Structure 1
């Protein structure tokens, strides 16, 4: 019985003898991580909450806005990111951000006065009638929905084009 195991033992010894030291070490540490632990970077705290535009005065280029992913109004940069050390680097501004002209707003937005009434949603009541903010450019077909602007005209045109193509395809398949 011992003789039958001897060739297997010799084979294992031969294989282990041929492996360099690092490979043998890898065999002895099977299942163990060889990578050093990764440094955990803390997530930045949420931006400062605000109830009016004046609350954000100390943070350059920020606006008191509400986004679709947060129920609170906060002092955010123009691209809806949290200011870093009281500064914003973003150039173009998203929906509801304070602006002085339409060139500051993203595509599909214009700079205009907010329609603030007693019936306005809470996220619009942070502005005064004198403020100018980036709003959906409704004259060019952009409609507001869920705190974003969508190009309704392009969507309608695209759907019409799809229906026309489907109709032509069916007409060709049926022999017309």
Structure 2
């Protein structure tokens, strides 16, 4: 009787955890399966679209509305790009939300997982951050929410927490079933 009860509890826990994990996955529309903060992928460059103008200072992009002097993971050159990292079209940007390193006035302008802050620009700061003046605010990874910067993206620490929870839970269920 006790073995039957233990199996029933284990099955109940598995169904409960499975449902919880599915809810966690559907609530995280902004998170990719690789645990990175969702930022719209760059629009593919077509033969009709000219490449964005190279820049070495944020001020050089002032003539292009809503653009920022940024470097992306796929291009070693800092360029005047729109918030979604696409090149401006006819000197204009359509993208509303901004990706990592884009100039901002407040956090509402930044994509999910990003926050508008003044970067800590020192002599050891990477070159792609030195394009900004000390008083400039840019979209950076929201470390308080578990997003950490790596390779020009923000990795989500909550995925790791969920994975550890799942491993511990499965281990406990296996112990219940073996007794």
For residue 166 of structure 1, what is the aligned residue in structure 2?
Answer: 170
Alignment of 1:15-164 (within 5 A): 42-152=47-157, 154-164=158-168
The aligned length equals: 134
Q: CA deviation at 1:166?
A: 3.0
Max Rg structure: 1
List alignment gaps of at least 5 residues for structure 1.
1-40
In the alignment, the residues of structure 2 paired with residue 67 and residue 43 of structure 1 have an alpha-carbon distance, to the nearest angstrom, of 21
SS at match of 1:163: helix
Q: Normalised by the size of structure 2, how large is the TM-score?
A: 0.70
Structure 2 distance, partners of 1:96, 1:121, is 12
SS in 2 for 1:160: helix
Deviations 1:87-122 (A, max 9, x none): 001111111100011111111111110111111111
Report the 3-state secondary structure (helix = DSSP H, G, I; strand = E; otherwise coil) of the residue aligned with 1:117: coil
TM-score by length of 1: 0.72
Task: Tell me how far 1:66 sits from its aligned partner.
Answer: 0.5
Aligned residue for 1:168, secondary structure, equals helix
Report how far residue 172 of structure 1 moved: 4.5
Please say which of residues 155-164 and 142-151 is displaced more in the overlay.
155-164
Q: Compute the RMSD of aligned alpha carbons.
A: 1.4
Return the structure number with greater relative CO, CA threshold 8 A, min gap 6.
2
SS at match of 1:144: strand
How far apart, CA to CA, are the structure 1 residues paired with 2:75 and 2:168?
40
